[in-house]
Structure 1
């Protein structure tokens, strides 16, 4: 097997560290949507080396690993593999590329951090100091989930030293499957999104859209209730619905087309506040199905940090706590959703924003990362102590 390397940045940022490296195995692309993995791992990269090993891209004549150094300080490794591989060959090639990555960068003492249980198929041979499973979604409920995912997750839960979940509902689903599970709902970079409350320059592709504007940003996939979106657009043709985000796993032709529906495509994380600033209401028009049963939308506190009233369908981790605290309006039928949007448009912000800010003051990605790091350090220390005890017991048996 031949390995080809893109060595952009190969000489930058590599140095010996007292802290163990972090090797992340992810189903998400680093450069796709800036969300939970990027927030957390960027912070880890400030204190240690972080390697982000993505799922393969296909079409290469021979196996290659493209390794780049991101602006956030993370080493991003993307396998490029031939098409048509059977499962055994696919796992073998990924294992070889992963091993080559660790060898090239002299990764010896490290933490394995999983976002996808499917990576167990090519990484179970690793011997990390600690294994972390950051379960941010119930991937088995998503469209196109591999049949082996549940089996691989059971294997990962057996190996993991600590498990984090992306929300309270997901925590309740996993807490009986591992002795060390902790809920970490989506957090928020308040200062970043609060810039939407000030005077910002209107993005060119939104500037000509009339008001009132009701907006959504995020991935547009099977989790979005397209029928609800269409019904709202039809019920109030004077409202403009702005949808920002990449379309994945669904046919773009299935998107409803109306004069007041505007699909603007994906935007960079740093641009989002400039779009939010021009909205009158922010939307969470999620379908209620298996794929949304355990989601904890990061955009909920991001919308609120921007100072925008929010209307959502009854997603459990939005209802608790945001709906119960009166910070987000909850509605499911088109008629109720329209009425909730009307109320949001008429809302007096002066009385509502202080309550929003009080709640958001308890949240930050810095705080989430710090708490996760403490649990990671504790798990690493416990594993070290257990290994020491085993060595001492073995020594006593042989003397």
Structure 2
């Protein structure tokens, strides 16, 4: 009897941050095999160790914990004034990762990268296959390390199969590897369709007048804050509801007007209730290098919730959503206001069936199965070249 290899995922994103692409995919892989999701280090009281826990979805979450002398709490980045030699940090991560795999009996596994930077401490591993799921062009993000481009080039020389988070990103990467496949953002339709049944508005939103124009997602340098402010000033009778954590930008940089409401991050389970009482959903992303290859997960989620959508001209939103007439596209405050006004007055009778027909071909289950097929073929191809024994994994409950 043969056994599926474990999956070891090296990620720059936290499992508990927001429930997005890595969480959807790894949760599904965990139905059939052991999955270890290795995060970037956390910093705090000692000793240095790998902290391992299990998520409700059955994924093993491993967080390298770096000791900071005198620290009283754990932080996701080194406290101010604390500097660690990069080579030393990589050595610590390498040792903790290798100890984790040895302790858990992980010797038959697929290595899955979300960040090329993890290559620095994982080069010595001997996986059955290597996967790179390139969600975005990370080198274009604020604060990206200069070496990231070099690391990605090195990683792509070793991967067996590569996925991209959108079609535009696929077009940019397909000439750099012989086995690249586009897998744009998908959606859990039943989850977000709960919004169509009209659950009661959450307490921090229920008191807001209508109409409500909402956004949910990470609020960071990709957001067009000038556009958001311009819309709010043009229509003070509209309530702009911003649901999500503020990341990598100062909260002081956010426009503060009486009709803009920042409600903070919410759990994945709570999102349908927020979307249910929005009149229009929006994706007001800036058009910058950081959004050039963006494929927003929010777009299909909004549509599954039955909300009309207005978006800036992000390429993977324009095509296919804008071209199919499922989403309105606008880039200036004036055009955005007009698009929202049109959305508020539109009839759903003709539009919603077309939305549902499109979404019927788009699901995380379908995406996962497609990726799994490619991964299985990569494992099989490597096995033909380098036959190995596949011992039974140590299953834990």
Give the TM-score taking structure 2 as reference length: 0.93
Partner of 2:136: 137
Deviation (angstroms), 1:388: 4.8
1:35 to 10, 20, 29: 20
Partner of 2:216: 217
Give the TM-score taking structure 1 as reference length: 0.92
Whole-Å separation in 1 of the counterparts to 2:261 and 2:169 = 33
Partner of 1:279: 278
Q: Does 1:21 align with 2:6?
A: yes
1:69 to 46, 51, 54: 54
Partner of 2:64: 79
Whole-Å separation in 2 of the counterparts to 1:27 and 1:177 = 22
Partner of 1:368: 367
Q: Which runs of 5+ in 1 are unaligned?
A: 1-15, 390-399
Question: Which secondary structure does the structure 2 equivalent of 1:243 belong to?
Answer: strand
RMSD value, Cα: 1.2
Partner of 1:298: 297
Q: Does 1:387 align with 2:394?
A: no
Deviation (angstroms), 1:67: 0.5
Partner of 1:393: none
Deviation (angstroms), 1:61: 3.8
Q: Does 1:166 align with 2:165?
A: yes
Deviations 1:331-378 (A, max 9, x none): 101110110010011110111000000000011111100010000001
Whole-Å separation in 1 of the counterparts to 2:273 and 2:65 = 35
Q: Which runs of 5+ in 2 are unaligned?
A: 68-81, 389-397
Deviation (angstroms), 1:59: 3.0
CA change 1:17–1:122 in 2 (3 A) is farther
Partner of 2:334: 335
Q: State whether residues 196 and 274 of structure 1, in contact with CA within 8 Å, keep that contact through their aligned partners in structure 2.
A: yes
Higher relative contact order (CA 8 A, sep 6+): 2
Deviations 1:6-61 (A, max 9, x none): xxxxxxxxxx9811000000000000000000000000000000000000112344
Q: State whether residues 198 and 277 of structure 2, in contact with CA within 8 Å, keep that contact through their aligned partners in structure 1.
A: no
Q: How many residues are matched?
A: 374
Partner of 1:4: none
2:37 to 49, 52, 62: 52
Q: How does 1:116-127 map to 2 (within 5 A)?
A: 116-127=115-126
Q: State whether residues 280 and 307 of structure 2, in contact with CA within 8 Å, keep that contact through their aligned partners in structure 1.
A: yes
Whole-Å separation in 1 of the counterparts to 2:198 and 2:266 = 20
Stretches of 4+ moved more than 4 A in 1?
none
Whole-Å separation in 2 of the counterparts to 1:377 and 1:18 = 12
Whole-Å separation in 2 of the counterparts to 1:145 and 1:199 = 41
Q: State whether residues 8 and 36 of structure 2, in contact with CA within 8 Å, keep that contact through their aligned partners in structure 1.
A: yes
Q: Does 1:154 align with 2:139?
A: no
Question: Which secondary structure does the structure 2 equivalent of 1:270 belong to?
Answer: helix
Question: Which secondary structure does the structure 1 equivalent of 2:296 belong to?
Answer: coil
Q: Does 1:206 align with 2:205?
A: yes
Whole-Å separation in 1 of the counterparts to 2:125 and 2:21 = 25
